[in-house]
Chains A and B, each alone.
Chain A
Amino acid sequence: METPYTDHLSAADYEHVYEPAEDSFLLLDALEADLEFLEKQLQPRLCVEIGSGSGVIITALAKRLSHAAHCLATDINPRACEATRRTASRNGAKLDSVRCNLTNGLRRRCVDLLLFNPPYVVTSDEELLHQQGISSATERNLVYSWAGGRRGRRVTDILLEQLDDILSPGGVLYLLLLHENKPDEIVQQLARLKFKAVKCMERHIPGEHLYILKVARIVN
Protein backbone atom coordinates (compact mmCIF):
# COMPACT_ATOMS: atom_id res chain seq x y z
CA MET A 1 0.00 0.00 0.00
CA GLU A 2 1.19 3.48 -0.73
CA THR A 3 1.49 5.92 2.16
CA PRO A 4 -0.89 8.75 1.26
CA TYR A 5 0.33 12.28 0.67
CA THR A 6 -0.45 14.61 3.57
CA ASP A 7 1.25 17.78 2.30
CA HIS A 8 -2.15 19.48 1.98
CA LEU A 9 -2.55 19.36 5.79
CA SER A 10 -0.89 22.11 7.78
CA ALA A 11 0.05 22.80 11.40
CA ALA A 12 -3.26 24.69 11.64
CA ASP A 13 -5.13 21.48 10.72
CA TYR A 14 -3.17 19.51 13.32
CA GLU A 15 -4.41 21.89 16.00
CA HIS A 16 -7.81 20.26 15.49
CA VAL A 17 -7.06 16.86 13.99
CA TYR A 18 -4.74 14.08 15.18
CA GLU A 19 -1.53 14.08 13.18
CA PRO A 20 -0.57 10.65 11.77
CA ALA A 21 2.02 9.06 14.07
CA GLU A 22 3.56 5.67 14.89
CA ASP A 23 0.18 4.23 15.87
CA SER A 24 -1.37 5.20 12.54
CA PHE A 25 1.55 3.64 10.66
CA LEU A 26 1.36 0.43 12.69
CA LEU A 27 -2.28 0.01 11.65
CA LEU A 28 -1.28 0.65 8.03
CA ASP A 29 1.53 -1.90 8.30
CA ALA A 30 -0.84 -4.49 9.78
CA LEU A 31 -3.26 -4.04 6.87
CA GLU A 32 -0.39 -4.23 4.40
CA ALA A 33 0.85 -7.47 5.97
CA ASP A 34 -2.67 -8.90 5.72
CA LEU A 35 -3.39 -7.79 2.14
CA GLU A 36 -3.56 -11.32 0.79
CA PHE A 37 -6.24 -12.20 3.35
CA LEU A 38 -8.11 -8.96 2.68
CA GLU A 39 -8.07 -9.19 -1.11
CA LYS A 40 -8.39 -12.92 -1.69
CA GLN A 41 -10.41 -14.14 1.29
CA LEU A 42 -12.35 -11.35 2.98
CA GLN A 43 -13.02 -9.36 -0.22
CA PRO A 44 -14.80 -6.62 1.75
CA ARG A 45 -17.65 -4.81 0.05
CA LEU A 46 -18.04 -2.17 2.78
CA CYS A 47 -14.99 -0.87 4.68
CA VAL A 48 -15.36 1.61 7.52
CA GLU A 49 -12.79 3.43 9.60
CA ILE A 50 -14.03 4.88 12.87
CA GLY A 51 -12.34 8.10 13.97
CA SER A 52 -10.53 8.62 10.69
CA GLY A 53 -8.81 11.86 11.79
CA SER A 54 -6.48 13.00 8.99
CA GLY A 55 -7.79 10.14 6.86
CA VAL A 56 -4.45 8.50 6.00
CA ILE A 57 -5.46 4.95 6.89
CA ILE A 58 -8.80 4.74 5.09
CA THR A 59 -7.31 6.65 2.12
CA ALA A 60 -4.48 4.12 1.76
CA LEU A 61 -6.99 1.28 1.95
CA ALA A 62 -9.43 2.89 -0.48
CA LYS A 63 -6.63 3.44 -3.00
CA ARG A 64 -5.56 -0.16 -2.76
CA LEU A 65 -9.04 -1.70 -2.95
CA SER A 66 -10.15 1.09 -5.31
CA HIS A 67 -13.15 0.00 -7.36
CA ALA A 68 -13.76 -3.27 -5.55
CA ALA A 69 -14.99 -1.92 -2.19
CA HIS A 70 -16.97 1.00 -0.82
CA CYS A 71 -15.04 2.90 1.84
CA LEU A 72 -16.49 5.13 4.57
CA ALA A 73 -14.79 7.19 7.25
CA THR A 74 -16.54 8.37 10.40
CA ASP A 75 -15.47 10.92 13.00
CA ILE A 76 -17.31 13.02 15.56
CA ASN A 77 -14.98 15.94 14.83
CA PRO A 78 -16.14 17.98 11.81
CA ARG A 79 -12.56 19.14 11.14
CA ALA A 80 -11.48 15.49 10.93
CA CYS A 81 -14.32 14.64 8.52
CA GLU A 82 -13.20 17.51 6.34
CA ALA A 83 -9.49 16.59 6.60
CA THR A 84 -10.32 13.00 5.62
CA ARG A 85 -12.26 14.20 2.58
CA ARG A 86 -9.33 16.41 1.56
CA THR A 87 -6.80 13.60 2.07
CA ALA A 88 -8.90 11.27 -0.10
CA SER A 89 -9.18 13.90 -2.78
CA ARG A 90 -5.44 14.78 -2.68
CA ASN A 91 -4.64 11.10 -3.21
CA GLY A 92 -7.35 10.31 -5.74
CA ALA A 93 -9.04 7.83 -3.38
CA LYS A 94 -12.77 7.14 -3.50
CA LEU A 95 -14.36 7.34 -0.06
CA ASP A 96 -17.02 9.23 1.84
CA SER A 97 -16.74 11.00 5.18
CA VAL A 98 -19.67 10.76 7.60
CA ARG A 99 -19.88 12.72 10.83
CA CYS A 100 -21.18 10.42 13.55
CA ASN A 101 -20.33 8.72 16.82
CA LEU A 102 -18.63 5.34 16.12
CA THR A 103 -20.89 3.79 13.43
CA ASN A 104 -24.17 5.05 14.93
CA GLY A 105 -25.43 6.47 11.63
CA LEU A 106 -24.99 3.19 9.74
CA ARG A 107 -27.34 0.26 9.16
CA ARG A 108 -26.75 -2.80 11.31
CA ARG A 109 -24.43 -5.67 10.45
CA CYS A 110 -23.16 -4.22 7.19
CA VAL A 111 -19.45 -3.65 7.78
CA ASP A 112 -17.09 -6.24 6.31
CA LEU A 113 -13.85 -4.51 7.30
CA LEU A 114 -13.78 -2.20 10.32
CA LEU A 115 -10.72 -0.20 11.39
CA PHE A 116 -10.33 1.65 14.67
CA ASN A 117 -7.39 3.49 16.14
CA PRO A 118 -9.24 4.60 19.27
CA PRO A 119 -8.43 7.29 21.81
CA TYR A 120 -6.25 4.92 23.84
CA VAL A 121 -4.22 7.11 26.19
CA VAL A 122 -4.90 6.36 29.85
CA THR A 123 -6.41 9.46 31.48
CA SER A 124 -8.63 9.81 34.49
CA ASP A 125 -12.29 10.08 33.55
CA GLU A 126 -12.34 13.12 35.82
CA GLU A 127 -9.64 14.78 33.80
CA LEU A 128 -11.70 14.12 30.69
CA LEU A 129 -14.82 15.66 32.23
CA HIS A 130 -12.77 18.61 33.42
CA GLN A 131 -11.44 19.10 29.90
CA GLN A 132 -14.97 19.02 28.55
CA GLY A 133 -15.98 21.69 31.02
CA ILE A 134 -13.26 24.21 30.34
CA SER A 135 -12.03 23.68 26.83
CA SER A 136 -13.27 25.35 23.73
CA ALA A 137 -14.86 23.05 21.15
CA THR A 138 -11.68 22.99 19.07
CA GLU A 139 -9.43 21.98 21.97
CA ARG A 140 -11.98 19.36 22.90
CA ASN A 141 -11.79 17.86 19.39
CA LEU A 142 -8.13 17.05 19.85
CA VAL A 143 -8.54 15.76 23.41
CA TYR A 144 -11.23 13.36 22.14
CA SER A 145 -8.75 11.98 19.61
CA TRP A 146 -6.40 10.57 22.26
CA ALA A 147 -7.90 10.70 25.77
CA GLY A 148 -9.20 7.24 26.57
CA GLY A 149 -10.34 7.62 30.18
CA ARG A 150 -9.80 4.77 32.64
CA ARG A 151 -7.35 2.18 31.20
CA GLY A 152 -7.66 4.12 27.95
CA ARG A 153 -10.74 2.07 27.13
CA ARG A 154 -13.66 4.44 27.56
CA VAL A 155 -14.50 4.42 23.84
CA THR A 156 -13.06 1.01 22.93
CA ASP A 157 -15.31 -0.77 25.44
CA ILE A 158 -18.41 0.91 24.00
CA LEU A 159 -17.43 -0.21 20.51
CA LEU A 160 -16.81 -3.81 21.61
CA GLU A 161 -20.30 -3.99 23.12
CA GLN A 162 -21.75 -2.81 19.79
CA LEU A 163 -19.52 -4.98 17.60
CA ASP A 164 -22.08 -7.71 16.99
CA ASP A 165 -24.47 -5.08 15.63
CA ILE A 166 -21.82 -3.49 13.42
CA LEU A 167 -19.91 -6.30 11.68
CA SER A 168 -21.43 -8.28 8.82
CA PRO A 169 -21.56 -12.06 9.44
CA GLY A 170 -18.02 -12.54 8.11
CA GLY A 171 -16.79 -9.07 9.12
CA VAL A 172 -13.37 -8.36 10.63
CA LEU A 173 -12.13 -5.60 12.94
CA TYR A 174 -8.55 -4.34 13.19
CA LEU A 175 -8.18 -2.54 16.51
CA LEU A 176 -5.16 -0.65 17.77
CA LEU A 177 -4.36 -1.03 21.47
CA LEU A 178 -1.76 0.05 23.95
CA HIS A 179 -0.24 -2.34 26.50
CA GLU A 180 -1.95 -0.30 29.26
CA ASN A 181 -5.35 -1.01 27.67
CA LYS A 182 -4.75 -4.63 28.78
CA PRO A 183 -5.13 -6.40 25.40
CA ASP A 184 -5.26 -9.88 26.99
CA GLU A 185 -8.24 -8.80 29.05
CA ILE A 186 -9.90 -7.46 25.89
CA VAL A 187 -9.27 -10.80 24.12
CA GLN A 188 -11.14 -12.54 26.97
CA GLN A 189 -13.91 -9.93 26.96
CA LEU A 190 -14.35 -10.53 23.21
CA ALA A 191 -14.45 -14.31 23.70
CA ARG A 192 -17.43 -13.80 26.03
CA LEU A 193 -19.06 -11.78 23.24
CA LYS A 194 -18.38 -14.74 20.88
CA PHE A 195 -15.53 -13.10 19.00
CA LYS A 196 -12.09 -14.49 18.40
CA ALA A 197 -9.29 -11.94 18.74
CA VAL A 198 -5.61 -12.40 17.95
CA LYS A 199 -2.68 -10.02 18.26
CA CYS A 200 -1.60 -9.81 14.64
CA MET A 201 1.17 -7.21 15.03
CA GLU A 202 2.95 -5.39 17.83
CA ARG A 203 5.60 -2.71 18.06
CA HIS A 204 7.67 -0.99 20.72
CA ILE A 205 8.06 2.71 20.24
CA PRO A 206 9.57 5.11 22.78
CA GLY A 207 7.18 5.17 25.74
CA GLU A 208 4.52 2.92 24.18
CA HIS A 209 3.97 -0.73 23.35
CA LEU A 210 1.33 -0.95 20.65
CA TYR A 211 -0.69 -3.91 19.42
CA ILE A 212 -3.06 -4.57 16.55
CA LEU A 213 -5.87 -6.92 17.46
CA LYS A 214 -7.64 -8.74 14.62
CA VAL A 215 -11.18 -9.66 15.62
CA ALA A 216 -13.76 -11.89 13.91
CA ARG A 217 -16.84 -13.86 14.93
CA ILE A 218 -16.34 -17.35 16.28
CA VAL A 219 -17.84 -19.65 13.66
CA ASN A 220 -19.59 -22.66 15.12
Chain B
Amino acid sequence: MKLSTYNFLTSMAIKGVKVGYPLKLTISKKDVVESEFNPVFIERLLPKLDWSAVYGAAQVAELAEDIPATQPENISDDEQLLQRLHHLLFEIDVLEGQMECPETGRIFPITDGIPNMLLNEDEV
Protein backbone atom coordinates (compact mmCIF):
# COMPACT_ATOMS: atom_id res chain seq x y z
CA MET B 1 0.00 0.00 0.00
CA LYS B 2 1.40 3.34 -1.08
CA LEU B 3 1.08 6.28 1.27
CA SER B 4 -0.98 8.03 -1.43
CA THR B 5 -3.58 5.30 -0.89
CA TYR B 6 -3.33 5.76 2.88
CA ASN B 7 -4.40 9.39 2.37
CA PHE B 8 -7.73 8.24 0.90
CA LEU B 9 -8.60 5.66 3.59
CA THR B 10 -11.11 6.33 6.37
CA SER B 11 -13.04 4.42 9.03
CA MET B 12 -16.08 6.65 8.47
CA ALA B 13 -18.19 3.63 7.46
CA ILE B 14 -18.18 2.34 11.07
CA LYS B 15 -21.52 2.98 12.75
CA GLY B 16 -21.33 6.04 15.03
CA VAL B 17 -17.97 7.25 13.70
CA LYS B 18 -18.13 10.93 12.73
CA VAL B 19 -14.88 11.68 10.94
CA GLY B 20 -12.75 8.52 11.12
CA TYR B 21 -9.75 10.38 9.75
CA PRO B 22 -6.81 10.35 9.62
CA LEU B 23 -6.24 6.74 10.63
CA LYS B 24 -3.32 6.12 12.99
CA LEU B 25 -0.74 4.39 10.83
CA THR B 26 1.87 1.90 12.02
CA ILE B 27 4.43 0.47 9.59
CA SER B 28 6.22 -2.74 10.55
CA LYS B 29 7.61 -3.65 7.11
CA LYS B 30 8.04 -1.49 4.05
CA ASP B 31 9.68 -1.55 0.67
CA VAL B 32 10.92 1.25 -1.55
CA VAL B 33 9.87 0.92 -5.18
CA GLU B 34 11.17 3.29 -7.83
CA SER B 35 8.54 5.14 -9.79
CA GLU B 36 8.76 7.73 -12.54
CA PHE B 37 8.47 11.29 -11.20
CA ASN B 38 5.69 13.36 -12.75
CA PRO B 39 5.73 16.80 -11.06
CA VAL B 40 2.60 17.94 -12.91
CA PHE B 41 0.62 14.99 -11.55
CA ILE B 42 1.83 15.47 -7.96
CA GLU B 43 0.78 19.10 -8.16
CA ARG B 44 -2.64 18.16 -9.59
CA LEU B 45 -3.13 15.51 -6.92
CA LEU B 46 -2.33 17.76 -3.94
CA PRO B 47 -5.74 19.48 -3.71
CA LYS B 48 -7.27 16.01 -3.31
CA LEU B 49 -4.93 15.07 -0.47
CA ASP B 50 -5.21 15.97 3.19
CA TRP B 51 -1.92 17.62 4.16
CA SER B 52 -2.14 16.65 7.83
CA ALA B 53 -2.32 13.00 6.74
CA VAL B 54 0.53 13.55 4.27
CA TYR B 55 2.65 14.96 7.09
CA GLY B 56 1.47 12.23 9.49
CA ALA B 57 2.54 9.57 6.99
CA ALA B 58 5.92 11.28 6.58
CA GLN B 59 6.46 11.10 10.35
CA VAL B 60 5.61 7.40 10.46
CA ALA B 61 7.82 6.70 7.42
CA GLU B 62 10.68 8.64 9.11
CA LEU B 63 10.71 11.25 6.35
CA ALA B 64 9.31 14.12 8.42
CA GLU B 65 12.39 16.30 7.88
CA ASP B 66 11.57 16.24 4.13
CA ILE B 67 8.01 17.47 4.44
CA PRO B 68 6.81 20.74 6.07
CA ALA B 69 4.14 20.39 8.78
CA THR B 70 1.86 22.82 6.98
CA GLN B 71 1.28 22.96 3.26
CA PRO B 72 3.41 25.72 1.70
CA GLU B 73 1.96 28.05 -0.90
CA ASN B 74 3.29 28.02 -4.47
CA ILE B 75 4.38 24.42 -4.18
CA SER B 76 4.69 24.22 -7.98
CA ASP B 77 7.88 26.30 -7.85
CA ASP B 78 9.48 23.90 -5.40
CA GLU B 79 10.66 21.00 -7.54
CA GLN B 80 12.62 19.50 -4.64
CA LEU B 81 9.54 19.32 -2.43
CA LEU B 82 7.48 17.82 -5.27
CA GLN B 83 10.19 15.17 -5.69
CA ARG B 84 10.10 14.43 -1.95
CA LEU B 85 6.31 14.19 -2.02
CA HIS B 86 6.56 11.80 -4.96
CA HIS B 87 8.97 9.61 -2.99
CA LEU B 88 6.77 9.66 0.12
CA LEU B 89 3.46 9.07 -1.67
CA PHE B 90 4.41 6.71 -4.50
CA GLU B 91 7.69 5.00 -3.67
CA ILE B 92 7.13 3.84 -0.09
CA ASP B 93 5.17 0.59 -0.21
CA VAL B 94 3.80 -0.51 3.17
CA LEU B 95 3.87 -4.31 3.24
CA GLU B 96 2.94 -5.01 6.86
CA GLY B 97 1.38 -2.71 9.42
CA GLN B 98 -1.93 -1.43 10.61
CA MET B 99 -4.24 1.56 10.73
CA GLU B 100 -6.34 2.46 13.72
CA CYS B 101 -9.67 4.30 13.74
CA PRO B 102 -9.07 7.53 15.72
CA GLU B 103 -12.52 7.33 17.34
CA THR B 104 -13.13 3.64 18.10
CA GLY B 105 -9.64 2.13 18.11
CA ARG B 106 -10.77 -0.46 15.52
CA ILE B 107 -7.66 -1.90 13.85
CA PHE B 108 -7.37 -2.34 10.10
CA PRO B 109 -4.45 -4.65 9.34
CA ILE B 110 -2.16 -4.30 6.31
CA THR B 111 -0.96 -7.72 5.16
CA ASP B 112 1.22 -8.43 2.10
CA GLY B 113 0.69 -4.81 1.04
CA ILE B 114 -3.11 -5.04 1.14
CA PRO B 115 -5.07 -3.03 3.72
CA ASN B 116 -8.16 -4.80 5.01
CA MET B 117 -10.88 -2.17 5.48
CA LEU B 118 -13.74 -4.69 5.41
CA LEU B 119 -16.14 -4.26 8.32
CA ASN B 120 -18.34 -6.88 9.92
CA GLU B 121 -22.07 -6.54 9.43
CA ASP B 122 -22.58 -5.54 13.07
CA GLU B 123 -20.10 -2.65 12.70
CA VAL B 124 -21.91 -0.77 9.93
Contacts and interface: CB of A to CB of B under 8 A. Distances in A.
Contacts of A78: 114, 116
Q: Pick from A43, A69, A96, A105 the residue with the most CB of B within 10 Å.
A: A105
A106 B35 contact: no
Interface string B90-111: 1000000000000000001000
B117 A81 contact: no
B44 A107 contact: no
B13 A104 contact: yes
A67 B5 contact: no
Chain A residues touching B, range:
20 to 34
B12 interface: yes
A100 B4 contact: no
Interface residues of B, number: 32
A106 B9 contact: yes
A16 to B, nearest CB: 15
Interface of A is mostly: mixed
Contact of B115 (A94, A99, A110, A168): A99
A110 B1 CA distance: 18
Given A45-B48, A70-B4, A107 B10 contact: yes
A76 interface: yes
Contacts of A85: 112-114
Interface string A94-126: 101111110011111010000000000000000
B51 interface: no
Contacts of A76: 118
Contacts of A100: 116-118
A46 interface: yes
Interface of B: 1-2, 4-5, 8-13, 21, 35-38, 40-41, 44-45, 48, 50, 90, 108, 112-119, 124
30 contacts: A43-B44, A45-B41, A68-B41, A70-B4, A70-B5, A70-B45, A72-B8, A85-B112, A96-B1, A96-B2, A96-B113, A98-B1, A98-B5, A99-B116, A100-B116, A100-B118, A101-B13, A101-B118, A101-B119, A104-B13, A105-B11, A105-B13, A105-B118, A106-B8, A106-B9, A107-B8, A107-B10, A107-B50, A108-B12, A168-B48
